Every structure is written in C-alpha cells, then in structure tokens.
Amino acid sequence: MTEQFISDAGYVVGSQDEHLASGPGQRIYLRGIQDESTNRYSVFRPGEAYVDPDSQAILGYEALHIADVIINKFGDPATAVVTRANREIVKGDRLLPQEQEEYPEFIPHAPAGVVDGRITSVIDGVSQIGQYHVVVLNKGQIDSLEPGHVLAIHQTGEVVRDKLGTEQAAMQRRADFRRAEAENPSAVGRFFDGVANDLRDAKLAVDKAFGEPIGGTPVMVQLPEERAGELLIFRTFENISFALVMNTQRPVHVLDFVRNP
C-alpha cells in the first residue's frame, strides 16, 4: 500500500453518540467515499513503512485490518454500521472497498530463479518469530515470486571473539617488533622515545579491562549462516510478499535471510 493510496482513502469522521471508539453494531460516519458501486468497506489503520533493509527504500506501508462495515446511506458524511471488528474503530481510521478475494489453489514449490531476500517485518510485531507467524519479505512480483513458492530461512552467524587467535596475533606482533628492533634498533628506539611508558601503561589498563593479552587486539570471527526454518509465500505485491512460517529449527528474527530451499 502506497502513501498516496492512504492519503486518498476515505476515513472515519465520527460515531453515534460520539463514542471515542466503536465496535460491532454501532453506527459510524465516513467521509471521502469515492466508490459507491459497493456498500461494503473494510476499515484499516495505517501502520509503519516497510523499509528494504539493504537499500533503505520504502517498499510500502502496513495496513492493519480493524473492522468491516456496511454503508446504509451514502453522502458527506456517509452512514455505516459496523458488522465485524477485530479492534476498536477510532476517528481517522481509513476505508477500503471490499473485494472478493480469490485465492487459487497452488502446490508448494521452489522458485525457478535465485532468490536472496530478507524478512522485513512480522505481523503483530512479535520479537521472535515462530511456526505459523506471518512475515513480510522485501521481494515480490518484480522478483518473480508467486503464491506457493517455498523459501528457506537463514540466520547470519554470530560474531564471536577468538581468544586463542587473539593471543597468537599478539605473539606474532611482538615477534615482528623484536625482529624490526634487531634489524634497526636506533629507528625503533627513536620512535618509542618519550611515549613508550605512557603507551605501555594505557595498553595494560585496556588489556586488563577486556581480558585480552598485552599487545593484542581482539580477533573477531564471523560464524557461518545456519538454516532456521522454511516459509510459504501466499500473497505477493510488486515489491513485497507475505509468507507463512511453516516450521522452525530455532527462533527466527526480523532481518533474517530468505533463500532458495
């Protein structure tokens, strides 16, 4: 859903008896209704933007389904009755004509081309994603994705400190220094004159604080990616797709990668 689409959509302007929030059976008043070919509308609330974690481009905007209404009198404002509500309706909620959605049957299958995407969001905003959660991907129809495609979820490996590698690197640096000192003692001596003691004291303090050997800088290692689960795409748009997490081997998170199974 684009920003312009949200801006052009009709909206809830008030309710019967001026309730702060409305629910099933209550009457509400609407403005900006452009399409009178149907009297059935859905109420939605604009949410956060879907942002591509790689390019930082805005792919679309979240539309949180709030309720369904039937308009029984068109006008400005129009009058409608709430038939079903998932959440309480408030002033400023937007409107979308209901369409007869067709979800053709499909057989789960792998994409023909290479897919390299990421999870950008999870519906209802949970921190850890598990089985049967619905997630949003930063790939869509322009990437040849379609309902029925199955993708594998991969987690980036953690960055860990290599203690032994750090010690070995420190030993190598000290050996290199001693070799340089033996080859050209006067040059090395001039370089450290006046700063050696201060540098040594400061280095000792830092090394003790971080548990690293004197003269060492932490050696960090990127662990390999691990497969975390699989998901099934059930709805695609131009730049994004919605997918159902079918199973997980470990907790899944926003920004995890999705690739060919």
Domain spanning 116-158+224-259, CATH architecture: Beta Barrel (2.40)
Evaluate the CA torsion angle 104, 108, 110, 112 in order and state its sign.
Answer: negative
**The predicted structure's pLDDT at residue 10:** 94
Segment 154-203, tens digit of pLDDT: 998 888 888 888 888 778 877 877 787 787 766 555 555 544 555 555 45
Segment 118-163, tens digit of pLDDT: 999 998 767 778 999 999 999 999 999 999 999 999 998 888 888 8
The rounded distance, in Å, linking the Cα atoms of 195 and 215 is 15
| CATH 2.40.33-classified regions of the chain | 116-158+224-259
pLDDT at 31 over 70: yes
The rounded distance, in Å, linking the Cα atoms of 84 and 68 is 5
Query: How does residue 212 score in pLDDT terms, banded at 50, 70 and 90?
Result: very low
Query: How does residue 98 score in pLDDT terms, banded at 50, 70 and 90?
Result: confident
**The predicted structure's pLDDT at residue 225:** 85
- Contact yes or no for 98/84 (Cβ under 8 A): no
What is the mean predicted confidence (pLDDT) over 9-31?
83
Interaxial angle between packed helices 185-192 and 163-183, expressed in degrees from 0 to 180 and rounded to the nearest 10? 120
Q: What's the whole-number average pLDDT of the chain?
A: 84
Higher-confidence position of 234 and 206: 234
